[in-house]
Structure 1
Amino acid sequence: MITIIIIYMHRFFIFCIICSSITFLHYPALAASSGYTVADIQRIGLQANGLLQAARSEVDIAQAEVTSASAFPNPEVTFMAGPDSPRLPEIDTGPSSMQRQVTVSQSLENPWMRRARIEAAESGVDVSRANLEQVRADLAAQLRIHIYEFLLRRGLAEMESDIFELMREIQQRIKLSVELGETARFELIRADTEVMTAASRKEAALLDTERARIALLQLTAGALPPEFTVAASLDDPVEQPTLDALRKELSTQNPEIQRLEAEQARARLRIDQERASVLPSVDILFSNFQDKQFVSNTAGLSVRIPLFYQRRGEIDAAVSSAAKIRQTLDYRRYEVDRLLESAWQAKEIARRRVEMFEGGIVKEAETALRVAEVAFRLGERGFIEVLDTQRVLRNARSELLQAQFELQSAAAEIDRLRAYYPQE
């Protein structure tokens, strides 16, 4: 009986393993879910950040202003009533009566001014949308830079932890040699100092990592869980178009240039609006008058003629504002192009540094440290040689991590200039 139970339990165990394997094969996303990707964090930040929500509200406000600009003027109705008070005897004027008068006034808008006002409001919507795009691009770039800064700090913390473990292992060896009388106590004091220094650097690196984590939580408005993990690495590939292709893309995709172009169009339309307002404006009038004896209906026109002041100041101010925006646009086009070249050069310099450190410097430093460790264990080299090679390797690894971070930062700046980011 016991044998049969064991056989069934064995078969059930095999069945569970097969089911787990099938589940793993059919749901690789769940099995490989090890953290948030860079694009995931960017999408979360773009959805949750309060500044971006405020920029979206600005677009809604601008669209409401288009509705206001498209509205027709409302008619005005005036009602007056009151009794007659005769100044002569009633036998001459007759009995007193009640007077009533209703006047309706309707403004006729200048069609040129109305069209310019509506188009200026529509240009305001384009300005708000370009500003929203600018906020999105800036936030996405900041998120990407902070993600890789978090990875940089984490990498430095791991490196300092490795150094601390190495120093502590060497300290134990030196302590044992001192107890056996093979090494002077001065070496143990030096090793203790190096262990305390390594521990201090390790704690500082861990605190920097936590600070970078908090900065990411701040940019995402707390939408990320406190103990989130990032499924990315500093050596992630950076693939972007050529510099000439980026220049062409920048002229049509850069949000700041788009915003200034929309502001320039709005400024030109404001000039048209101010010039059109010089034309005479007309109101249609209709009046109904009633008393005890008479009913009177009259109609007419009310024309406002700009005879003495023809809005010269407003027109000049609109022209100067348009010139200012045009000059700003020309300068920003030049400046954005220079920023692109600078970011491109920074990316290429960082790429060369990464290739240089990955190609030989770090490997040679690691080999030198391994040789020094073996020689120290065999008693052929002292603690100073191990310490020197460890410092060389630490500097090389730090430079490599920093170069990888600079490469990712330069790529993020290029993507910011061309407004390239994952959509919400």
Structure 2
Amino acid sequence: MVHRLLRTLLLAGVLLPVLLTGTVVLAQVQESRSYRLEEMLGLALQSNPGLQEAASLVTRGRGLQTTASAYPNPSIDGTFGPGRTRESLGNSQFFERGVTVSQPVEWPGMRQARQRAAEAGLAGSQAAVDAARLNVLADVKIAFYQLLLAQHNAQLITEALAIVQDFHRGVKARVDAGQARPFETLKANVEVQKVGNDLN
């Protein structure tokens, strides 16, 4: 039960070990380290890809806001090449050149509407960052307390197993002394196995 929960937390990318006091010992192969809830929240906020993606949307929104406030650029076009007249005076050839400069003029209010739309997009992106941050914090806290509960349950089951094993020894001693039937030992064995299965 505890192993499945730990595996689920690892696969989800959130390691949130905690004890009731706010710390938990994360058992690793080579070393063990204690983490506080605040540390885990900080790690989750630093390295969560969803938050990084939301932050990139804010950067994109700022870029769109800058673009929306810019005036359209003028354009310059040029043409050149050989030319010829088709007049009755003769066939004269010459070299033609032309330059065109144009400046787009927007409809009144178009630029302001674009700016308002970009501001609304930026506000939406910032709200998405806030929502993603709150979701990450909530997920971290939920996993934190689920692990705490799993650790507490494992401790309770271990204590229950010790109690049942003491009971089994008492029943076995009674059977050995002839005060109880051998069937009682079999029932006590079954109870020990049930509690042992709960621990796994």
Per the shorter chain, which TM-score range?
Answer: 0.7 to 0.9
1:160 and 2:154 aligned: no
The one-letter code matched in structure 1 to 2:61 is A
CA deviations over 1:43-79 (Å, ceiling 9, x no partner)? 1111111111111111111111112212221222222
Say which of 98, 114, 119 aligns to 2:116.
119
Shift of 1:158: 0.6
List aligned pairs for 1:7-406, cutoff 5 A. 35-88=34-87, 92=89, 95-203=92-200
Distance 1:202 1:88, change over 3 A: closer
Distance 1:84 1:191, change over 3 A: closer
5+ residue gaps, structure 1, are 1-33, 204-424
5+ residue gaps, structure 2, are 1-32
Percent of aligned positions with the same letter in both sequences?
31
Aligned positions, number: 168
Shift of 1:171: 0.8
Aligned to 1:402: none
Secondary structure of 1:35's match?
strand
TM-score where L is the length of structure 1: 0.38
Mapped partners of 1:112, 1:68: distance in 2 = 16
Shift of 1:172: 1.2
Higher strand share: 2
Shift of 1:93: 5.1
Secondary structure of 1:59's match?
helix
Secondary structure of 1:73's match?
coil
CA deviations over 1:239-296 (Å, ceiling 9, x no partner)? xxxxxxxxxxxxxxxxxxxxxxxxxxxxxxxxxxxxxxxxxxxxxxxxxxxxxxxxxx
Mapped partners of 1:122, 1:114: distance in 2 = 12
RMSD (CA atoms): 1.9
The one-letter code matched in structure 2 to 1:149 is Q
TM-score where L is the length of structure 2: 0.77
Shift of 1:88: 5.0
Shift of 1:143: 0.8
